[in-house]
Chain A
Amino acid sequence: MKLVAVTACPTGIAHTYMAAAQLEKTAKKLGHTIKVETQGAMGIENELSQADVDGADAVILATDIMIEQEGRFARARKIQVPVQAALKDPDAIFAQLK
């Protein structure tokens, strides 16, 4: 599958990036492609364009806070999870996609 994701934790220092790494690693393991946008203390990085979102099969939002530009995902198939879920059991998130 072709996936996109956004990670964002309260301070934007650690868990945003830890979750991003975890999602990328798990996607690779399961044979998916994924592009993960991080919204942390440095602002938005690896930003998802509308085309990225529209071209994806699903969006994973691993976020604990309100995110920027949520409108991009209005029409997409979304899976919303807390950041911790991405750290603790990323496989379970991907299982929801089936």
Chain B
Amino acid sequence: MALELEFICPLPSGIHARPASALEEVVRQFVSEVTLLNRRTQRQANGKSILAMVGTDVRLGDTCVFTVSGSDEQKAIDGLKAFLHDKFPHCDAPLTAAKIETATPLSPGLRDAGAIIYRGQPVVPGIGRGRGVQLGKFSIPPSLPRNGVTDTEKEWRRLDASLAKLNMAYDHRLVVAKGVEAELVRVHQAIARDVDFQNHLRAAVTERQRTAAGAIEEAETHFSKMLAASGNEMLQERALDIQDVCRQLLREIYGDAVKTDAVQLTAASVVVAESLTPGQFLALDRKFLKGLVLASVGGTSHTVILARSFNIPTLAGVTDLPTIQLGGQEIVVDADAGALVTDLTKAARRHYTLEERRIAGRRMRLEKLSVSAVTTEDGQRIEIAANISTAGEADAAFEVGAEGVGLFRTEMLFLDRPTPPDEAEQFESYRAVLAAAKGRPVVIRTFDVGGDKPLAYLNLPAEENPFLGRRAVRIYPEFETLFRTQIRALVRASTAGKLSVMIPMIATVDEARWVKRIIAEEQKKCAAKKIAFDPAMAVGAMIEVPAAALAVEALSRELDFFSIGSNDLLQYFMAADRMNAQLGVLSNPLQPAFLRLLKLIADAARTQKKEISLCGEMGSHVRFLPLLVGSGLNKISAAAPVIAGLKAELSRLNQAACRQLLESALQCATADEVNALLEQFLSQVNVPLLETDLILIDSDATTKAEAIKQAVDQLFIMGRTDNSQAVEDAVWRREATYSTGFGQGFAIPHCQTNAVRFNSLVLLKLRSPVAWDSLDGQPVRVVILLAIRTGQASTTHMQVLAKLARKIMDEDFRAELEQEKDAARLGAILQKIF
């Protein structure tokens, strides 16, 4: 008797290749027949075929039914039920669509440069310059026969053997592939061993006398059409994955005969293709790959996701692509502006020289920030560290200025594999992070698995309430061998740097004592075996269970430091599942009671003279920083991309003021009140209008457009805007009413825009005067750019600017500005009137 299980699809992108392959993995464990029916489309599929399940076009909210029949049907239903409840809603998380932004107006310097410009949608930001290399579409060489096989059995055996070889090749690649690439190989492998895919190939050969090439061509067309018919952009893009598998399969069978478009890049290149399969992308030499231009739009194709992960500037949706003949000329893909630029003129090259200067300037400034430790404006030192999940991320984190690793989540080492990592593999990973840290502190968290991160090899039964169940430190005694292995790897690695070990989900002193005992025992064993280790290795705990938050004093007798895991602490404290968007109000860290809890933890740790940090999501929001600084934390650990921003913001904050802010926030009744208070505080953070680095005394701008661009770019370099194009655009919109060149060689371009973070003034002295369409018709030698943040107009800055505007009408003042050649002294002249 067949069993049924009905469910509603919770995935925003529906059941595409990735969730389907996760479902298939579950179904494959049972011998029973499993079919999936989408009630909306009435399409039905074999649960052991990823492609067929994808073909049912399940979208968010569709009601679906699994029908299971066979000897182990009850077990299969239970397994599916547990999977649908625990894992399925989250199985699609990391493959979020690469964001597609709408094109911004072009900078006049580019617009009027006389080069040919094709507009497209930026999918990976950045600018790449290189020889244009055009790649053709996927096709099977016409020379290969498609039909007329006599010994169909033999032909199928040949094809079947190639499928097996391809499968092995994928296994080999999985050993070295990482991250997105590994994800991709898994999807391709799943397609290659898909029941429907294989059945289709077999039928083409045995029933229709197709050759292997003919069968592959037929399967490729069939499944691509099926995906195209789904009406779902994400599914349509999976057609590229099918093409890839078919291409690889062809190569297995025919070898070099199908080397159709393998392109060898030999110099800096921008690759232009109507569409590019992920496999084609990976085959390109990334040393020379400077940019990518695609005709097809789509933010979710694996090619785009790969391009993003390798940071290759990419432009999509360039519809004119088929008609463009590049002939090997130098081209620019400008994904920041949403443009492909060909037939470069002198002016266009000049524009991109300035662009390169802008990007390099920002990078150099970040590097400068990254080497320095930061304090608050009033001298309070707070360490800004990085959260990482793999050893490979450490270098990049230090490059952007991390002062240490505040959280290395080791569970990534344990997830998605049939057996746990052994001691040697773990040791190597921990040692690598410590080596990358070069003496900076590294906090490694022991594995936090169970709950939402189940491991197949632990065989933990599904729980009603996984977040309140057996996870992290709670399962260590049960899997003591696994835990001891990790501890041994950590103890051995401790000589490689400044290592601290952190335990997740500590709720009681008993748990802390147990962990300490295991560590002490493993250290003793190492000592007995004459294995070197650091006996002073610190041991601390995550504070994410409210009980621990109230036991800091007692825990301090066992542990050396604490780190607040704000995500879990918040959800446990508010009793609100953080995955449930409808409970968003409760999951707001600005809830006054939660802030009170943070302060209580920080105060308790300080009283006990223990280091207290925060490594949760809350620390990744630059906006929340004043409240965290006010609570007296010693360290904040966050994702690498926000580190430079956190450091810059920290240097602007005053700890005493932040403390007062937190005190006031604690008096608030609601999160909204706290938010309003924070907003007010942030609007008053005193960022000076002018700093010496905003004064350029020897600009080589040759036109008004270049001068405006250079002035705006300086705001970008100094981190005062993240969108120079929008600021430039605002300046030009003002310039359109009438020229800001007011005569006597001076111009005062200005704008009000949200694209600048702070009110700013840039002073540019030009090496040679440029035409500005001035009131007196004279060229301009001195440019003063005023960029005002919308909504911050009524502050003291506006009074300063008004004073400056009046002063600039004074001849003597202008003469003083013209004569002074030193940036710092020019700054002082301007400061005098402030």
Contacts and interface: CB of A to CB of B under 8 A. Distances in A.
A18 B808 CA distance: 7
A38 B737 contact: no
A11 B806 contact: no
Interface of A: 10-18, 20-22, 25, 38, 40-43, 45, 64, 84, 87-88
B738 interface: yes
Contacts of A17: 801-803, 805-806
Interface in B778-834: 786, 788, 793-794, 798-799, 801-803, 805-810
Interface string B722-756: 00000000000010011010110000101110000
B207 interface: no
Contacts, number: 69
Given A40-B802, A41-B752, A13 B788 contact: yes
Contact of B737 (A10, A21, A87): A10
5 contacts: A14-B740, A14-B748, A16-B802, A20-B806, A22-B809
A11 B802 CA distance: 12
B731 to A, nearest CB: 10
Contacts of B788: 13, 41
B802 A87 contact: no
Contacts of B743: 87-88
A18 B752 contact: no
Contacts of A43: 794
A14 B802 CA distance: 6
Nearest to B788: A13
Contacts of B798: 13, 40-42
A87 B747 CA distance: 12
A12 B808 CA distance: 16
Given A43-B794, A64-B737, A88-B743, A13 B775 contact: no
Contact of B806 (A18, A41, A42, A84): A18
B734 A10 contact: yes
A10 B810 CA distance: 22
Contacts of B793: 12, 41-42
B464 interface: no
A42 B809 contact: no
A88 B794 contact: no
Given A13-B752, A41-B752, A88 B809 contact: no
A42 B799 contact: yes
A22 B801 CA distance: 16
A84 B750 contact: no
Contacts of B740: 14-15
Contacts of A41: 752, 788, 793-794, 798
B256 interface: no
A14 B805 contact: yes
Given A15-B740, A17-B803, 4 more contacts: A14-B748, A14-B805, A41-B788, A64-B737
Nearest to A13: B750
Given A41-B752, A41-B798, A21 B809 contact: yes
B391 to A, nearest CB: 51
A55 to B, nearest CB: 25
B776 interface: yes
Contacts of A11: 734, 750-752
Q: Which 5 A-B pairs have the closest CB atoms?
A: A17-B805, A21-B806, A41-B793, A21-B809, A17-B802
